[in-house]
Amino acid sequence: MTLRPRTITPCLWFDTEAEEAAKFYTSIFRNSRIGRISRFSEEGYEIHGKKAGTVMTVEFELDGQPFVALNGGPQFKFTEAVSFQVHCETQSDVDYYWDKLSAGGEEGPCGWLKDRFGLSWQVVPTALPKMLMDSDPAKVKRVTKAFLQMKKFDIAALERAYRGEPA
């Protein structure tokens, strides 16, 4: 028997904002699109309580990564226990994703933010993990101290800390 690789598709539970969220996210990320949209029918109304014809699920892709947004009702909310990381090569990319994703949401520490739907994101420079895995513990300590003071990451400041230069 040959095993095929499986795609893992995150399903994001919203109250009623699935389509709005999919449009928001696809407007931010390149190589993104909205796919199929399913709608509630009269069947199961006593369970889901949604008017027939309203959006149930929206398939979408962000930079080729598939997602599904579900209008499941108000029972569940997003928490910081799950977040999505956006890896950025440049400061302009960090600034772009930070500004777009945090608009109407909340800025948090160390590259974390919540978007206007309450979903948590981490906007992370690709250089940071490399710095934190350096074999020199003094470099790791300086970079850690620097990033713990930040909300949105500042790549130049991280690089100065890494080199042992004053802030």
Model confidence pLDDT, tens digit, residues 96-152: 999 999 999 999 999 999 999 999 999 999 999 999 999 999 999 999 999 999 999
Angle of helix 155-163 versus helix 91-102 axis, rounded to 10: 130
Question: Which has the closest alpha carbon to 12: 124, 122, 120, 123?
Answer: 120
**Same domain flag for 120 and 94:** yes
**Same domain flag for 52 and 83:** no
Model confidence pLDDT, tens digit, residues 74-104: 999 999 999 999 999 999 999 999 999 999 9
**Same domain flag for 31 and 14:** yes
Model confidence pLDDT, tens digit, residues 20-59: 999 999 999 999 999 999 999 999 888 888 999 999 999 9
- pTM for this model (two decimals): 0.91
Query: In this predicted structure, what is the pLDDT of residue 5?
Result: 65
Strand (E) or helix (H) holding 28 = helix 18-28
Per-residue pLDDT at 162 exceeds 90: yes
Q: Which of 5-9, 65-69, 115-119 has the lowest mean pLDDT?
A: 5-9
**Same domain flag for 37 and 112:** no
Query: In this predicted structure, what is the pLDDT of residue 133?
Result: 97
CATH number for 43: 3.10.180.10
Query: In this predicted structure, what is the pLDDT of residue 27?
Result: 98
Based on the structure, what is the number of domains in the chain?
Answer: 2
- CA distances to 44, 126, 139, 155 from 51, rounded to whole Å, are 10, 45, 57, 48
Domain with 154 in it:
78-167
**Same domain flag for 35 and 64:** yes
